[in-house]
Structure 1
Amino acid sequence: MPTMLDDDTLAFAHKVFNHCRNGDSAELATLLDAGLPANLLTSTGDSLLMLASYHGRVETTRLLLKHGGDPSLANDRAQTPLAGAVFKGDHAVVELLLEHGAPVDQLPPGGKTALMFAAMFNRTDLLLRLLEAGADPQLRDSEGKTALQLAQAMGAADAAAYLRSVEPRRSARG
């Protein structure tokens, strides 16, 4: 049974979540230093790190990682902070998350890898970066689709062409 929170607690939580969305790092740092858990979740499972990453807040993302924010926490929609940053096309946040150990091939149950998001939304520059970081283009989502198949389904022609071009070379090395 879920815990019911009083209005003051809900207002505080809402304020904290907005600090992450808006990049209010100074206010958030004070709270984290006072003991606020870095892996606090919204009612939909978004971690503070997910909120900051998805909204492109590089310094807030860095702050949360420094305080133990877990880059592998997926939300209730099976999305990770790395996948969220890729979806938004935020190179700086993607790089920061990779530098801090975000699992490049994380595939939450019912979700997709960051590479799959890069492929689907034709983000070839991020596709290349994820492949350089070791992403496996042969992984399949819960429906059995690879990044290439997802790119094709979404009409992401550049990503599909790139994935087709690297597929034989990766297989030959394997």
Structure 2
Amino acid sequence: MLAIANKDFELFTTLLLGSPNVNEADLNGRTALMYACSFNRPKMVTALVERGANLHQRDVCGKSALAHSCHNISILTYLLELGAEVDSIDRRCRTILMTACEKGNFKAVSVLLDHGANINLIDNDDQSVLDVARKFKRYEIIQQLKINQNSVFGSGNINLTTAVIADDFKLFTVLVSDCDDMDETDLGGQTTLMQACFFNRPKMVAALLKKGANPHIQDNDGRTALMFSFNYTDILVQLLRMKVDVKYKSKDGKTPLMVAFSCENPIAVYCLLAYGTIDISDEGDETSLLESRKQLD
């Protein structure tokens, strides 16, 4: 284990070749493979697997090597492609997806979802992955999970959301050309335009708007596409040029300006001000800038 911690590949190789049992575990039930995953040693992980390391072995907490690899996308993907169980649970019935959500690792969550991770499993505390993401305020991951959960539209056929998430513009173009309803919504009331904004797909946003997608539609939480675009200036400007409403409030009382502040994006705040989110001739707007900032503190 010391060779792994010290990243001493020469010593590691010598010890590995002389080891009669590559799956030997310490008092915590952890194997060399688990430590190699935890310490982010992809070359050592590969060497251990080639020597017969068991992907499915558990430590005393019930965690497999995959559960120790959430912080390294290359190792995570490698183990999944070798057949590691994506929905493996530990003694608390927590899944690897829950761990990735807790750590706020958006890329790991994406990889796990791409490999079929089940978002509906519940741990011993009756918590789902969405509950975990909410608990740790992983807002980007919450949105990602909701889109994955709602990505099948009423028709049940392959849809534009699939192409948006995969960032497959070729597939997206084909689907757009055959789409009769650009404003079809998922179970959360979100349109493809909203999802293209959230996943930062400016070319797709432009294509959807050109095709007639309605930027004024609100989802089940009262948010328009504008609310999903504050991290991406190119998309934000596209929507503002469509003269979208910059003063509306979502169901939780948030205005676009408040969301822009919460994203800590001064450019987005500037753009909103430039497009009239504050009207200095309107007495009701005189203090709205200060109030927006105050409500976020």
Q: What TM-score range do you get, normalising by the shorter chain?
A: 0.7 to 0.9
One-letter code aligned to 1:99: E
Q: Is the 8 A contact 2:93 2:122 kept in 1?
A: no
Matched position secondary structure for 2:109: helix
Higher mean C-alpha deviation, range 104-113 or range 43-52: 104-113
Deviations 1:113-149 (A, max 9, x none): 2111111222111111111111111111222211111
One-letter code aligned to 2:150: P
Show structure 1 runs of 5+ residues with no match: 1-16
The answer to whether structure 1 residue 70 and structure 2 residue 54 are counterparts is: yes
The answer to whether structure 1 residue 25 and structure 2 residue 9 are counterparts is: yes
Identity rate, percent: 23
Q: Is the 8 A contact 2:61 2:91 kept in 1?
A: no
TM-score (norm 1): 0.80
One-letter code aligned to 2:51: H
> Which structure exhibits the higher relative contact order, with contacts defined as CA atoms closer than 8 Å and separated by 6 or more residues?
1
Specify whether residues 111 and 38 from structure 1 end up closer, same or farther in structure 2 by C-alpha distance, changes over 3 A only: farther
Distance 1:171 1:114 in 2: 27
Structure 1 stretches of 4+ moved >4 Å:
170-173
Q: What residue is the counterpart of 1:123 in the other structure?
A: 105
Show structure 2 runs of 5+ residues with no match: 157-297
Matched position secondary structure for 1:135: coil
Distance 1:36 1:24 in 2: 20
Deviations 1:27-78 (A, max 9, x none): 3333333343111111111111010000000011111111111122222233
Where do 1:106-117 residues align within 5 Å? 106-117=88-99
One-letter code aligned to 1:42: D
Identify which of 73, 76, 79 aligns with 1:94: 76
Q: Is the 8 A contact 1:85 1:94 kept in 2?
A: yes
Superposition RMSD in Å: 2.0
The answer to whether structure 1 residue 53 and structure 2 residue 30 are counterparts is: no
Distance 2:88 2:153 in 1: 21
Structure showing greater radius of gyration is 2
Where do 1:141-160 residues align within 5 Å? 141-160=123-142
Q: What residue is the counterpart of 1:41 in the other structure?
A: 25
Specify whether residues 152 and 84 from structure 1 end up closer, same or farther in structure 2 by C-alpha distance, changes over 3 A only: same
Distance 1:116 1:171 in 2: 25
Higher-helix-fraction structure: 1
